[in-house]
Amino acid sequence: MEQFERPWSVPVAVEDIPETGGHYEFTADAATREAVARLAGLRTLDRLDAVFDVSRRVEGAAVRGEVRARVGQNCVVTLEPIDSDIHQTVDLSFAPSAGPADEAPISRHGRPIDEPPEPLEGDTIDLGAIATEFLILALDPYPRKPGAEFVIASEDGEGDSPFKALAALKKQS
């Protein structure tokens, strides 16, 4: 089994979840935020917290809640810093891992389930890993400052271009 970096780990054993469900609120400390920021390729991660309601199911568990963060990225056009707030909803179901030969899960009504449950490896759910994953999924892969525009040089030769600069150098020699 491959081992992935898990900078934020908050394991909850399924058997420890109360019958009525459990409510979990946690905030990442500075060292954890730094490790998550490095993993996510962020300039800064000033705040990272999560609130989850976890309930047991006949087989497995369900996790619902929200991940909130204050992230710092760089504008892809100007390279200037951008700070933004993340509010990402989480709604997952977990079930024991299916064998490789198993088909897509079927509901009790005989229809395929649109979203199959996440595999429950062992007897724990890592809420910190879920929070990290949903933070990364919520990030804008191409952050842009308001009003920043990428201007492409026109094809008619007007404007600056690397080839125009090379042509000017060639004329000088």
For the chain, give me the number of helices (H) and strands (E)?
Answer: 3, 7
Distance, in Å, from the CA atom of 143 to the CA atom of 74, rounded to the nearest integer, reads: 7
Residue 2 lies in a domain: no
Residue 28 lies in a domain: yes
CB 41 within 8 A of CB 143: no
Residue 92 lies in a domain: yes
- What would the pLDDT profile of 22-47 be if each residue is shown by its tens digit? 999 999 999 999 999 999 999 999 99
Q: How many domains does the chain have?
A: 1
φ, ψ of residue 19 to 5 degrees: the values are -55, -35
Residue 3 lies in a domain: no
Residue 5 lies in a domain: no
**Model's pTM, two decimal places?**
0.76
Mean per-residue pLDDT, 139-148: 89
Residue 38 lies in a domain: yes
- What would the pLDDT profile of 42-76 be if each residue is shown by its tens digit? 999 999 999 999 999 888 899 999 999 999 999 99
49 lies in which domain range? 11-172
Residue 1 lies in a domain: no
CB 77 within 8 A of CB 149: yes
Residue 6 lies in a domain: no
